[in-house]
Amino acid sequence: MKKRKKRTPSHEAVVATAHSAGGLREAAVLRPGNGIDFVEVRLDCLDGNINRLRSSVEKIRVPLILTARHPREGGAGALGSRQRAQLLKAFLPLASMVDIELRSAQSLRDVVAEAKQQRVDLILSFHDFSRTPSPTRLRAKVRQALRVGASIVKIATTLRGPSDLVSLLALQSSSDQLATMGMGDLGKVSRLVLPLAGARLVYGYLDRPQVEGQWPADVLAARLAELSS
């Protein structure tokens, strides 16, 4: 396996999520410099045959983020920690970054250590699919993730109204290592506003969305380019 060049973004970067066979096929035709900066490969959603999956992932030329999501934070297949660790370790040599939930930092500590050894940058993430927690709780999550050694802290919450978006904007302004984003009715708005406020990563989809409030990745890249020009 050819080692991917590392690239931790210093500004907002568009991530296209590949969580199906169709998404992997679309990811394989992307070229660096087309507005999409990373492809997130959702290992928990994809073919469990590692050799077959590797042949698909190796065709992707855009830098990779690896994710094998915890079932309580949107993961597919009810994978346990051991299964998720095996998947992530198998693909680490291809990755620029690896995304592990903050709740899993201890149970997947071997993956965290191996990522550090291989100089794969660490995203520690927190997802809430029902609401946006209080600012105090969100700030505590960020502090905890930074103590663990995250290069980027990803916070994704469900926005029930404008005040929740304001909370994420305030949180985003507290650190330059954050990637905040919303889900739900205001999700699309948040994924335009928060990158302009400094969010390091913003996620769109390739063949189909995973959560309400996502843009198609190519449309998202174009909209952000328009707003930034």
pLDDT of 3 reads: 43
Tokens found for residue 188: 């699309």
Q: Tell me the per-residue pLDDT of 81-123, one tens digit each, with 9 for 90 and over.
A: 999 999 999 999 999 999 999 999 999 999 999 999 999 999 9
Nearest to 87, CA basis, from 105, 103, 110: 110
31: DSSP letter: -
* Predicted pLDDT at 7: 55
Residue 196, sorted as left (phi over 0), alpha (psi -120 to 50) or beta, turns out to be: alpha
Catalytic pick among 70, 141, 154, 188: 154
Positions of the chain with pLDDT under 70: 1-11
Category of 181 on φ-ψ map: left (φ > 0), alpha (ψ -120 to 50) or beta = beta
Q: How far is CA 58 from the centre of its chain?
A: 19
DSSP string, 86-109: HHHHHHGGG-SEEEEEGGGTTTTH
Predicted confidence at residue 5, as pLDDT, reads 53
Query: What CA–CA distances, in Å, run from 225 to 35, 55, 105, 169, 194?
Result: 8, 32, 34, 20, 14
31 token code pair: 């070229």
Q: Is 89 among the catalytic positions?
A: no
Q: Which of 19, 70, 127, 141 is catalytic?
A: 127
The whole-number pLDDT of residue 6 equals: 46
11 is catalytic: no
